[in-house]
Structure 1
Amino acid sequence: MTIHKILLQHKKTLRRIINNVSILIAFILLSCLGVNGQSKKVDSLKSHLTKTESKLEKIKTTLALSKLTSKSDIKSALTYAEESKKLANEIQLPDWINKATLNLAKTYLLIGNYPRSLNFYQEIIQNKTANSNDLLSAYNGIGIINYYQRDYKTAIKYYNQALKISSTKKSEIGIEKTLKQSLFNNLGIIYEEMNDFSKANFFYTASLNLCKQLKDESNLVHVLTNQGRLFHKQGKNELALKYYLEALAIRKKNNDESGISISYDGLGEFYFELKNYSIAETYLKEAIKLGQRTGDLLTIRRASSNLYKLYQQLGNYKPAFEALALNKEVSDTLFNAERSNKIAQLELQFDFDRKRDEERARQREKELRYLLAGIALTLSLIIVSLLFFMQRNKVRNSLLEQAHLKLEKENLEKDIELKDKELTTGIMHLMEKNELIDHISEKLHKIKQSVDKEVQPEIQKVVTDLQSNLRPELLKEFEFSFQQVHEDFFNIINEKFPNLSPSERRLCAFLKLNMTTKEISAITHQSTKSIEIARTRLRKKLDLTGTEQNLVTFLSQLDQTRNRS
């Protein structure tokens, strides 16, 4: 290796280190700026909470603390939310009980505990004292939960119920318009994902009009981007570009660098799909640069992925490899952060469940002592002491057993989730490698025809070496690896649905891993339309036709149901 090449290699390494440090510094600066101002408010509210004797003031303060800490310290946010609900129940003021219940529902929604969040939203709906705005928030929240779980029909049902309430004169005008704008946008997203472009356009337009009425530019840019994406899907590229550029102009006016990088990424993808590669490359590079400055890893991941596809399309393999390396680095960082966040959420949920069980245990012990208070002194002391110690040991053993089982379950779920991620990533990586080898081999075959005959054997040798690295047995490897992780899955499928074909059983495995239609299409070399038809046929064979049961949810719970039984 020459001195020039060594210096060039070190220069690239140094540049990558500088980029990573820049991202880290951006995160630290953004965190410091936000936390400093919020910290003063939190300290002030905490001080007020310790000084006040009024329960109503305590409710107001704990609610404010819960909302303030919801983005920075979710554990504290949930603690304050539980405390405000407890205090509201003690003083029995319906309005504050509803406010505390809604806040608790939103907090559980934030940590991803959908069942608990749904229970509290349902509590509001069933409460006769709830006003229109409380009901509006509750129906909207339930709609969001169902959207996250891809149950679009149920989500639409609750969103429409919220819209019906927002049309009444009882709801406050400001709250009504703000929530109505959000509802219209959410409905537009759902209908777009369902490929009902006519309804999606109707709701996006309604949301856009409300944003302009409220002069709400923070939400306006999101709706403009959604509307632009919808027009692009419909082939109305001039309209799509108009909306994309309008959103970008607003973000530039507000000096929103994070939003600008998102717009650049969207425009880069837009021009890439139009095969205007030079403009697409410029936008995607700018998106990555701004994303690195603001610490927006999600935008960097999307833009680097699009840039990789662009260079691969152009046959520029060196920059394509660099874009792919950046994408993998950022994806790994995001995956690790997401895994840490899920672990923290599980720990948080376990902690609150433990406290709740302890509280119930203490309540049972208290009731037991009251029950036995009237018995003769000597006999009652003996019986009460005996029962007390037996009950306490039983509770302690129950808590220990519950903790042990929960920990085992969490470890198993995390292990399966990690293996599923590794399995999907590995297969996609091998598939991309095969495609790249095929592409390079085709290029070399073409070159071989136009060079001297003395050189042709060397080129053929390179092609042969490349072909030897192909992995045609990808699907077999996938099935084998999948069975290692989910041992009983295919046994359950064969037992319950023996009429499934091998390709349908394989499709079940892909869907259990929550793979998208595009990913399945890329692995099986089938068109996305063929995959959609196969999914419809599979629903019929699984007796899901005519039901609202989600196919992915059904398959993901299939082996879990067997284990519980």
Structure 2
Amino acid sequence: MLSISLLVGLLPQVLSKQIPNSSDPRGDSIQVVELLDRSKAELSKDYKKGIELAKEAKLLAEQGTDQGLIMQSTLNLGTLYFNLGLYDKATDFFTEILQTATKNQDDEWMGKGYYQLGVIRLVMEDYELAKNHFVKAKKFFLKKHKSFDQISLNIKLGFHNNFGVVYLGLGELELAKSEIEAGIALLDEREEFIIVSTQLFNNLGDVYFKLGDSAAAFESYFKAKDQLRLMDQAQLEAMVNISLGKIFMAQGDLEEALIYFHEGFVLANSFQGYSHLKHISTNLSELYEQLDQRDSAFTYLQLSKAYQDSLNLKKTTEKVLQEEMLIAFSEEKSQLKRFYDRNKAVFYVVIMFLIAALLIGMNRVILIKKNLKHVESKKDNLQNLAVQVQHENTELKLEVEQTKKDMTLKAMQAIQKEGTLKQLAETLTKSNHSGKPVHQQELERLLDELKIDQSGNALSDFELRFGSLYVGFFEKLMEEFPNLSLNDRRLSAFLKLQLTTKEIAAITGQSIRAVELGRIRLRKKIALTNSNKSLNEFFLDY
């Protein structure tokens, strides 16, 4: 598993430096920029207020006409959620950027959208898919700027950094080292590069650590730490502390490692960095196990699993609150147990000498038992909270089902639009046959354009919406069955949604017989002809 020092080196701030100018005479764009600046300033002190300011900036931007400012405020809000470890919410905003850019055919923002999705995949340690997203992002930036040299330095540094992390995650250490060193070679002394330079040096240290060169790793880590001398950046400082903790632990200096891990934990907790906290808890569990402090090791192991569940299942912050309450309960119980053991030994010594000390010891035991009952009461409250969280999870599943229905409706609307274009094409054809000869060439040109436009837009929009819900479905389908047509893919998506033949016919405007024939052809193409498994069963588990 990749270390946290690599993961947090991917913060997408390198793409959010430039705020586009607006010609809005009302000055709304200036207010949006001010709100974005205030949001970033508040994040380290009060992340909830920072989020609210970012939302306000996005709402104000959407009331104007500056599309660049709207996209920038959306990117900023997604970035804030990303930094908090709320990757499901961040993905929503990054997907919104990609969808809007696709609609507007904006190569610059297409590149940024794929870049951000690559960052999300990198944090989830899906390195192959992250690499694919970064390759797509680079392609769109090159399409916009013609050559890599014309791309802004911030974005180039981001690509070198993140491709380096990808290759490190894939075990291609020399490629990782080459990418990161190429980024470091582009650095200069400007303050705006402090964040990315810290990430680059820290990630280079991780590469050397993997290569077994501890001296070079230490040198890179302390260079990363030195970058932060002019900037108060808790996220990056936590990142470097964790890296140093890991290398000290690997060399057997457990006390020094413990200092850095605890400093990193405090910093990560200050900005609710759940991805950081997950990795720190894992390392602390291993360290306490080596120190033979099994209570602490178990406590941090449980906390690590809780943060891992939160990241993988994309639960809300209430889930994290439950986990924090659980660790607080465990620590309090552990402290009470140590207190009880310490005073129990004193009790046995005192009873040998003074009868009066027995009464004092008994009073202390009674007090401890009362405290234990209080702790048990807290445990009951936690169990009730767990039931509430389970209920909320059920509601989330219902929301997912509603999302599926909404996506089907969008597909129906898109296909109806396609039908309208077909009718328009037929009308123009009739007009062409009965019209004046002088308009013959113009009508033929218009007909050709309509036929081209109507061929793929509906399916493309449907696939984009469907793909955001079932990530990788179409890619996997086309990899295994490359001979599937566009209609086969659309039918496969409807079957993944568990729609019946009648429902598919109603959505697509086809006859039930036509849909049945399509299903027969699809069974043959995916080699289910001689299988007892139905198409719905096949795609339910696909």
Which TM-score band applies after superposition, normalised by the shorter structure? 0.3 to 0.5
Normalising by the residue count of structure 2, what TM-score does the alignment of the two structures yield? Answer: 0.46
Normalising by the residue count of structure 1, what TM-score does the alignment of the two structures yield? Answer: 0.44
